[in-house]
Structure 1
């Protein structure tokens, strides 16, 4: 993602994956006859639908502090979840014990949601082909841990060499090789291997009078370990250090309505939170989203087209199949300001008379699937980014966002801007501190007055939380101008 005071390396542009050779099919996680037996037991009380979800995930996590590796851990999580649906009711049980008797007990427990007396039936399944939007070779689990710790040591060295004012460097590396299998009583059986890795660096710089500022940067995706040859830990560390040093001497942010320009890339997190969650089908079905019942209506500026795309090549949020076994899809949610669609998992799709959009995702076998985003981005416009900035006489340039929150029921959002600059007569001015953006999602979309021709995904560091479940996601947008948005600050104009 670019920054206000110095350029940084761009992440690869959003594009569909080219055809790739499939890796040899590994040994099945569970024998197919056992999966079919679990489905039969799950339906023994007469449910409408049953599903078996199998997962085996190997994770490596490394942490660096004070120029030393503080921890390096590898862990295995595996288990089986069984879901039964009867009308609008859902029964779910899981087991991390792979003994057949334990798995059958889980299936029988899930079946109790249906109180009928169904006749004994069989549910044969057939393996379905899945698309390939990522291919990681060798699997990340096969890479030596020493190479992973080495990335963080390199990052620490580069950050400290960047500027003498860098006083503290913390780093983290995490990867996982996740294998899943999903089978259901519709006869569908799918498998996928999902490798994912990410590196992050936090830098604290100290200026005059003991002032301290923090910079954070990172990225990754469903990419092989060789990704770090081009998106290097040195680049990550220098960008984190640049952010921290660049904002030393920041002035207090002026509060009040302003014109805001968003930097391309990670600024898409604003779109994800303020708009994306409100388009998820569970909130729509319950009528708790501000976007419920507005299909076909104008909800944003003509310049706004929002897409959720699970098929982005090697994207952090990309999926060959979702956690219900359905293929990932590219979905146009808002087109030229008009609301076109929602994000559906299988359950909410069925209850609403729709079809799944491949949006059913779950954190692990211990969790039920929910409608979730994958890679969500704003389509590019035709304005040159430099012209967008030149047109603003006074305003705020938001280079990097921190945390934020949104109320789905009314669309109200608040976001911390961790790196921001004054705009004065079309040019970047001094850095500002304590800036927040405050507004209502649909109103902010209607006030989008310029969309740049410089689309950019984030570098691959998004984590989305919902109902206690965390999922990897991608975001992105080009340079965007939003008029008359409320800026929170500590100085009155």
Structure 2
């Protein structure tokens, strides 16, 4: 893994066009109107984004479906600070009068002047998947599927142009591009079925790309999912156990993103719950854990140079040698204070105000060997290859995570496949059980939800071992 940097590259950046300048002008207009009408602070965010999705489905070796979907979002959001409270409203770019009406409903505010409607949005209007890409995804899916297997393969392409202007003088515009592949394989046999997910992202993938890199990546994903799903057939039920647990590369970052990352978002931390209260400066583990939020990871799903408030996205050390050292903030979270703005404001789209969110959650390499961490004790250990979902109650610190791919390893060398494993317990207790961190860092991508908003994030970590965690299957 390339070492994290203090500033992210401008991922997928392209030369500025007249359309970029138009978006900047719209953002500046709404910001100026907010100030003219008496707001203490105003911020306008404008976006034009396109998400194209191609699906290929094969059931038992035969084509079951193939299609595409297109989601375009063209709009403006306006954040106002008035009477020491926040207000947020939004409208499509083609309906600026709608936003003006919403602002006018605020008590003591007049009606803002609306700019001219934007009914066409640059080259995004013309985007269509190339026919070769349809044929490629279907051919790959069908070639990898067999009678004992079903495959769902999804190819996503993202493209966006954004601009933000606020009343403090901050103003930026940027572009982003990239793609993601996802595969779910379901195997049948031995009277069971087993399902496994794989995924990969790359910022250089483009909608018209049907080249060898995209094809090879898709083939590897599908074949990997097929092999791993078949390996889970013959799984057993072991009940509730407390054993050492080893998390494969990528998996540890997913767990710590929930247990630590969300708790260190400024708005969650400020609640001072039983779990988050006193977290800053607390020693979480005696292991040499170094956890960072890094928007500069090459090919990281959350990599960015600028957050959605127009601030420079910075690398934040969240945990240093097991001790909580930092938090994630954004413009709204630090407004009116001298606290550092880490440039971690992210939003799903123009319809939402930004929140302090993770970019890429990264566990830095540790001193232990992978082989030593995987050595099972007399009672065996649980090896988790992938997590499918999980949550933590930030009030009480209780967590629960479903593992989609696990094996129970015994001292005799047996590897028993397990399905529907659930890890659960108290987060602080679990973190104290962290006992080993290897150096085999790998990256993954995921979608993270918070307050009804979903954003894409990166997950990067090595093999990690916990001495004792409770689980059931």
TM score, norm. by length of structure 2: 0.87
Q: Which digits, 9 at most, give the CA deviation of each residue in 1:383-414, with x for residues without a partner?
A: 11012112644111111111112111122111
Matched, 1:217 2:201: no
Cα distance between partner residues in 1 of 2:212 and 2:104: 45
How far off its partner does 1:286 sit? 2.3
Match of residue 72 from structure 2? 76
1:27 match: 18
Does the alignment pair 1:194 with 2:179? no
Local SS of the residue matching 1:299: coil
State the Cα deviation string for residues 54-104 of structure 1 (Å, max 9, x = none).
000112112222325432122321001111013641111111043555554
Contact 2:4–2:297 (CA under 8 A) maintained in structure 1: yes
Secondary structure (helix, strand or coil) at the match of 1:275 reads: helix
Task: Tell me how far apart the structure 2 counterparts of residues 448 and 424 of structure 1 sit (CA, whole Å).
Answer: 20
1:223-262 alignment, distance < 5 Å: 223-225=204-206, 228-229=213-214, 232-262=217-247
How much has 1:287 moved relative to structure 2?
Answer: 2.0
Q: Any conservation in 2 of the 1:39–1:107 contact (CA below 8 Å)? A: no
The equivalent of 2:115 in structure 1 is none
Cα separation, 2, equivalents of 1:92 and 1:80: 11
Aligned in 2, Cα 1:139/1:85: closer, same or farther, shift over 3 Å? same
Match of 1:354 among 296, 317, 339: 339
* Matched ranges for 1:232-311 at <5 A: 232-288=217-273, 290-311=275-296
SS at match of 1:286: coil
Q: Which of 51, 59, 71 pairs up with 2:51?
A: 59
- Name the counterpart of 1:43: 35
**Contact in 2 for aligned 1:332/1:340 (Cα 8 Å):** yes
Q: How does 1:69-108 map to 2 (within 5 A)?
A: 69-86=65-82, 88-98=84-94, 101-102=97-98, 104-105=100-101, 108=104
Counterpart Cα distance in 1 of 2:417 and 2:23 = 59
**2:117 aligns to what?**
none
Please give the alpha-carbon distance, in whole angstroms, between the structure 2 residues aligned to 1:20 and 1:53: 19
Q: CA deviation at 1:148?
A: 3.4
Tell me, in whole angstroms, the C-alpha distance in 1 between the residues paired with 2:286 and 2:294: 21
Do residues 472 (structure 1) and 464 (structure 2) align?
A: no
Q: Does the Cα contact within 8 Å between 2:45 and 2:164 map onto a contact in 1?
A: yes
Per the TM alignment, residue 329 of structure 1 is displaced from its structure 2 partner at its CA by 1.3
8 Å CA contact 1:58–1:177 kept in 2: the answer is: yes
Give, in whole Å, the separation in 1 of the partners of 2:253 and 2:26.
44
C-alpha distance in 1 between matches for 2:436 and 2:144: 35
What is residue 4 of structure 1 aligned with on the other side? none
- CA spacing shift, 1:53–1:107, aligned 2, 3 Å: farther
Residues 96, 409 of structure 1: alpha-carbon distance in 2 compared, 3 angstrom cutoff: same
Larger displacement relative to structure 2 (428-437 or 442-451): 428-437
* Aligned equivalent of 1:177: 159
Q: Is the contact made by 2:253 and 2:461 (CA closer than 8 Å) also made in structure 1?
A: yes
CA distance in 2, matches of 1:227, 1:470: 31
Q: Which runs of 4+ in 1 moved over 4 A?
A: 12-22, 31-34, 99-109, 138-143
For the 8 Å contact 2:27–2:76, the answer to whether it is kept is: no
Alignment match of 2:382 (pick from 378, 396, 419)? 396
Q: Check whether the contact 1:151–1:233 (CA below 8 A) recurs between aligned residues.
A: no
Aligned to 2:435: 449
**Aligned mates of 1:93, 1:139 — CA distance in 2:** 24
Separation of aligned partners in 1, 2:23 and 2:423? 52
Matched residue SS, 2:334: helix
Tell me which residue corresponds to 1:417: 403
Provide structure 2 residue ranges, at least 5 long, that are not aligned to the other structure.
113-122
Partner secondary structure for residue 304 of structure 2: coil
Matched, 1:407 2:393: yes
Following the alignment from structure 1 to structure 2, what is the Cα–Cα distance between the partners of residues 34 and 261?
A: 51
Q: TM-score, normalised by structure 1?
A: 0.84
